[in-house]
Structure 1
Amino acid sequence: MLTPDSSVIKDSLCAVSRQLGFSGCRVARAEKSPHAEKLFQWLERGWHAGMEWMALSPERRTDPAEVLPGCRSVICLSYDYDSPGRRPEGEGSICLYAHGKDYHGILEEKLADLQELLSIYGGKQRGYVDSGPVMERDHAEACGLGWRGKSGLIVRRKGGSRFFIATLLTTLELEPDAPVSNGCGSCRRCAALCPTGAIMENGQVDAGRCLSYWTIEHRGAIPEEIRPLIGTRLYGCDTCVTVCPWNGKPLPDVDERFRMSRLLASIPLRGLLSLDAGGFAALFRNSPLKRLKREGLLRNGCVVLGNAGTPDDIDFLKALYGESPLVEEHASWAVERILRRHGRHASSSGARD
């Protein structure tokens, strides 16, 4: 039974969310996920790769009431991002969502404002930005924030999939919104053009094949069979985003904090890889790339040079051998790749034995 003021609460919530810059605000019932079995199957197949935290208490993840006792509604919010900036061709691409500032802190502050608002009406809340035991895409699909694309991403007719999802669990009972029709139709571009075939049936992704997993989440050595497929991707992979027809038009009036800085758009790859610990911390202090840490950036950069570098890069790569065993492994591999591509005569000293 809805409280007498539920429509007023929801109207106020949506109005304030727009003032905070959210492009969408919709409500789902706090029910167990209808896709819980898909999550369990995904885990059983090992498609979570090394993300072991996904296998911790998956039943809790599928039920909002297990996260917030008394939860009655799940508020789903979209916050758009887009960026015209690009790094020079071959110098290490960065996926679109990571062009600017780290979205977690920015959106968490906005969620705090909404939590304070709902507290006035007597609600208890918990907010998450891509970091809690909440199946935010399931809830976003249920309330019509978008539909589940074949890539597994939530897609909208206006703006495609270029948005962050923030979720707010609340004990307030709010009128739920209806889902929207799926707009993918027979299109399979994302699955067909995925460089590793990571997009499986029913919008599920095998993280063990996904280049975003290997270049962002994974902390150790990247398997040799994956390295050539990374191409010139330095951080993440945007293929399923860029090939989607719904992402064809630029988004106007997005938050400038998510656009790429002039420095990051212009600095060459070897310049990035030459940063010392202090330089790395200064450049990426408020960036998603800080998750990589300097060693991860060097690892990924060596792979990019191995795939696109020239003999002029060999001495630079050899100078990285002393950084760490992980970096040395990838730098040595990169030298070998360049020598095979350009011939052994490309370097008088040859590759490291």
Structure 2
Amino acid sequence: MPTSTSEGANSAPDRDELRRIAAEEGFDTVGFASADFGELPGRRLDEFIAAGRHGDMDWIVEKAHWRRHPQALWPEARSVIVLGLNYGPEENPAAHSTADDRGVISVYAQGRDYHDVMKKKLKSMARRIVRDYGGDVKVFVDTAPVMEKPLAAAAGLGWQGKHTNLVSREFGSWLFLGSIYTTHELPPDAPGYGGCGSCSACLDICPTAAFPAPYQLDARRCISYLTIETRAHIPREMRPLIGNRIYGCDDCLAVCPWNKYAKKASEISLAPRPELRAPELRALAGLDDPSFRELFSRSPVKRLGRNRFLRNVLIAIGNSGRPDYLSCVAPLLEDTSPIVRVAAVWALGRIVDASLYQQFRGKLLDGERDRDVREEWDQSCSGGGHEQA
């Protein structure tokens, strides 16, 4: 974000006053960290990349030199104000995880796009700091090359749990994070304290075994990465493990015992929209691009795009094993998008018997020019989940 400079006072802000301003802007928690948080987070980032655990998120590699340290991104920064916004859910995120007619969207994406909500609050607070205290500031939320979780831990908002996400003694696993970098020198807070002890609930519940060890994540196996980040076809061996999760996954967050202290979100714009709580798979399968954009207006899901979203919906349909979804899947076998057609072929093989599958295959394979679609026809499961010869 652009740097702002005031011609007024240039005295360091009082931290209690900054906490008051943060509360007025609607933030639920705030902490202060030095812009020099040491080399350890950067080393861990380098190890993550070297192991290839970032998958095809090339933007992590391209901006790693900025991400590994706050002052690499902005050398003039002296302190970081880390803000948290509670998005605690109203109901158990796993309430619909076994429904064969519904899709599950991650809690954070059921309301308005949090990037917009956080950015508006951060900018407002930053303007007040510059107006009253001078100095320069930059605001960041998620999409910038900032390691929010190590910064939040350094600022005392919590600690990184075994699932690598931030855990708060007050809000459990449910905090959106944003930061204001400033040229002011602010006394840092003590690092976050607490701990996971011998608990391994978040590791044990992961459907795809995405944690090779405590405090380590292999994004290539994470359902959030598979359904949101990757632009490729989801690997065939991962598809049955995704279940009915069509955008993200909250399993490792929701199971954390520290959530007993969590509170329901009070920010009205983050309230879940009824149509996104547990949408019907049948209705979602019929979305064209305009209806997709309308349904997910002002939602982070919109950035995924219709084709990749339908890829996810079709995988959920395939995992349902319900033959009555044939009327939803059949039209998508001839969709204009290869990524949709591949998912439709796989879903078809999961919901119909072998003879009907072969009929569709024989009818549609002729003239199919996309190699990935042809390979999926050759490899996809027949009815009952048995691999074809």
Q: Indicate the TM-score class for this superposition, using the shorter chain for normalisation.
A: over 0.9
Aligned partner of 1:41: which letter? E
Offset of residue 123 of structure 1:
1.7
Aligned partner of 1:338: which letter? I
Q: Is the 8 A contact 1:82 1:258 kept in 2?
A: no
Q: Does residue 267 of structure 2 align to residue 255 of structure 1?
A: yes
Distance 1:13 1:210 in 2: 37
- 195, 209, 219: which one aligns with 1:183: 195
Q: Is the 8 A contact 1:33 1:138 kept in 2?
A: no
- 136, 142, 153: which one aligns with 1:130: 142
Offset of residue 157 of structure 1:
1.4
Q: Is the 8 A contact 2:105 2:278 kept in 1?
A: no
Q: Equivalent residue for 1:70?
A: 76
Aligned partner of 2:145: which letter? P
Which consecutive aligned stretches of 4+ in structure 1 deviate over 4 angstroms post-superposition?
85-88, 347-351
Moved more, 266-275 or 127-136: 266-275
State the secondary structure of the residue aligned to 1:164: strand
Q: Does residue 70 of structure 2 align to residue 58 of structure 1?
A: no
Q: Equivalent residue for 1:336?
A: 349
Q: Does residue 20 of structure 2 align to residue 15 of structure 1?
A: yes
Change (3 A) 1:170 1:4: closer
* 1:221-278 Cα distance to aligned partner (Å, 9 max, x none): 1110111111111111111011111124552352122222122336411112212222
Change (3 A) 1:78 1:33: farther
Instruction: Spell out the pairing of 1:104-123 with structure 2 (5 A cutoff).
Output: 104-120=115-131, 121-123=133-135
Moved more, 318-327 or 143-152: 318-327
Distance 1:344 1:202 in 2: 42
Distance 2:357 2:74 in 1: 64
Distance 1:128 1:229 in 2: 34
Change (3 A) 1:83 1:202: closer
Aligned partner of 2:351: which letter? I
Distance 1:250 1:186 in 2: 21
Instruction: Spell out the pairing of 1:79-98 with structure 2 (5 A cutoff).
Output: 79-84=85-90, 89-90=99-100, 91-98=102-109
State the secondary structure of the residue aligned to 1:332: helix
State the secondary structure of the residue aligned to 1:240: helix
What TM-score, normalized to structure 1? Answer: 0.92
- 331, 336, 347: which one aligns with 1:319: 331
Unaligned runs of 5+ in 2: 1-8, 363-389
Aligned partner of 1:19: which letter? E
Q: Is the 8 A contact 1:83 1:258 kept in 2?
A: no
Aligned partner of 1:78: which letter? G
* 1:303-347 Cα distance to aligned partner (Å, 9 max, x none): 0000014111113201111222111111111110123xxx447x5
Instruction: Spell out the pairing of 1:180-219 with structure 2 (5 A cutoff).
Output: 180-219=192-231
Offset of residue 122 of structure 1:
1.7
* 1:159-186 Cα distance to aligned partner (Å, 9 max, x none): 1010100011110111100013232111
Percent identical pairs in the alignment equals: 38
Q: Is the 8 A contact 2:137 2:180 kept in 1?
A: yes
Aligned partner of 2:284: which letter? L
* 1:117-140 Cα distance to aligned partner (Å, 9 max, x none): 221212211111101121111111
Q: Is the 8 A contact 1:68 1:125 kept in 2?
A: no
Distance 2:346 2:117 in 1: 39
Change (3 A) 1:224 1:70: same
Distance 1:351 1:258 in 2: 43
- 44, 51, 59: which one aligns with 1:45: 51
CA-atom RMSD in angstroms: 2.1
Q: Is the 8 A contact 1:190 1:239 kept in 2?
A: yes
* 1:191-250 Cα distance to aligned partner (Å, 9 max, x none): 122111112335121111111101001112111011111111111111101111112455
Distance 1:328 1:348 in 2: 14
Q: Equivalent residue for 2:361?
A: 352
- 236, 243, 246: which one aligns with 1:234: 246
Distance 1:126 1:350 in 2: 59
Aligned partner of 1:59: which letter? H
Change (3 A) 1:263 1:4: closer
Offset of residue 283 of structure 1:
1.2
Distance 2:278 2:59 in 1: 36
Q: Equivalent residue for 1:30?
A: 35
Moved more, 89-98 or 44-53: 89-98
State the secondary structure of the residue aligned to 1:75: strand
- 151, 158, 163: which one aligns with 1:146: 158
Q: Does residue 232 of structure 2 align to residue 220 of structure 1?
A: yes
Change (3 A) 1:250 1:63: closer
Q: Does residue 305 of structure 2 align to residue 305 of structure 1?
A: no
State the secondary structure of the residue aligned to 2:80: strand
Aligned partner of 1:13: which letter? L
Offset of residue 147 of structure 1:
0.8
Unaligned runs of 5+ in 1: none
Aligned partner of 1:114: which letter? M
State the secondary structure of the residue aligned to 1:303: helix
Aligned partner of 2:17: which letter? S
Distance 1:65 1:348 in 2: 57
Moved more, 27-36 or 14-23: 27-36
